[in-house]
Amino acid sequence: MKEPKVAIVICSYNQIKLLGLCLNTLKNKTNYKNYKVYFVDDSGSGKIANEIKNKYKWIDISINKKNSGFSKANNVGIKRAIKDYNPEYVILLSDDTEIVDKNWLKKMVDVGESDKEIGILGGKIIYPDGSLQNIGGYIKKWEITKEMDENKKDIFEVDHVMGAFLLIKKEVINKIGLLDENYTPYLLEDTDYCLRAKEKGFKIVSVPSVRIIHKKGKTIDSLKDKRSLLIRFKNDIIFSRKHLKFKDRVFRIFIYLPLVAILKKKKDTDELKLKNFELRENFLTNLYFWILAFIPRAYKKIITK
């Protein structure tokens, strides 16, 4: 049986070294043959694209004239792949990931082919030290949760999977379109996309047997201008208004988010319990950002500087 065509979309803003490792492991640790890589240089300068052209001639390259963020950059790659290659599947793969299993792509496609109702698939995303980062999650009232049972082995349904490694059937793209660019520059566009697919009747599944290493947040952490909290508030408000029931929406926007502005987790894996939080240094400024997140003109000026 002929392998379904898979387009792998990778975008990069400023992580040339990590990108090189990603591409090298992708090429050397993928047994699947029928795929094509579409790279989008989102640096705004084209510098990364020039390096990629010389070293990786098997990759299709697009260059954005300015840094556009996760949704817009991936949409550029998706549209180019559909026009040029017409794949049965599209994978969104972060530039700071590493492939570790040569059968990873075959496993994912086989699961997708096993059930027509499956629309989006994710896998077990791990930190470089091997600990679990993400294996999908659920929407529980106002809370966006993660499945943290790293002992899961069987394929299981979830509400969302992480955009660092996300496999999409072409039927999903045909039915719901591309990533929502209102979430520019980054955050929650992947969860939003999964929920939009579920609303149209598609299953979202996680495949624990497929592991991908992800250096979480390297691109975001490298930004000189620390606007991440304002972006978090802006996108969280958009998401909550779009997907949560009224009572849960109000709680998340007007109680949970202000608490996020004031408190932070001591560790990323800590549960949502008061003892696992500490006061943020600039909590008054953060509350100011929370207020700005309701005013599009205000946050757009700050985010796009």
Q: What is the pLDDT of residues 135-192, one digit of tens each?
A: 999 999 999 999 999 899 999 999 999 999 999 999 999 999 999 999 999 999 999 9
Instruction: Output the pLDDT for position 297.
Output: 78
Give the pair of three-digit tokens for residue 246: 């009224």
Name the strand (E) or helix (H) holding 106: helix 104-114
The reply to whether 206 and 252 lie within a common domain is: no
Which CATH number goes with the domain that contains 167?
A: 3.90.550.60
Q: What is the DSSP letter of 208?
A: E
**30-58, pLDDT tens digit by residue?**
999 999 999 999 988 888 998 898 899 99
Q: Can you spell out the DSSP letters for 138-153?
A: EEETTEEEE---TT--
The reply to whether 20 and 148 lie within a common domain is: yes
CB atoms within 10 A of CB 217: 13
The reply to whether 252 and 162 lie within a common domain is: no
**206-234, pLDDT tens digit by residue?**
999 999 999 875 444 444 445 778 899 99
Torsion sign (Cα): 67, 86, 84, 53: positive
The boundaries of the domain holding residue 77 are: 6-217
Could you give the residue ranges of the DSSP H alpha helices within 31-103? 47-55, 70-84
Q: Could you tell me which of 235, 274, 226 has the C-alpha nearest to residue 257?
A: 235
The reply to whether 106 and 204 lie within a common domain is: yes
Compute the mean pLDDT over every residue in the chain, rounded to the nearest whole number: 91
For 220, list phi and psi in degrees, rounded to 5.
-65, -45
Q: If 0-12 CB within 10 Å is exposed, 13-18 middle and 19+ buried, where does residue 274 land? A: exposed
| Distance, CA of 186 to CA of 73 (rounded, Å) | 10
Domain membership flag for residue 1: no
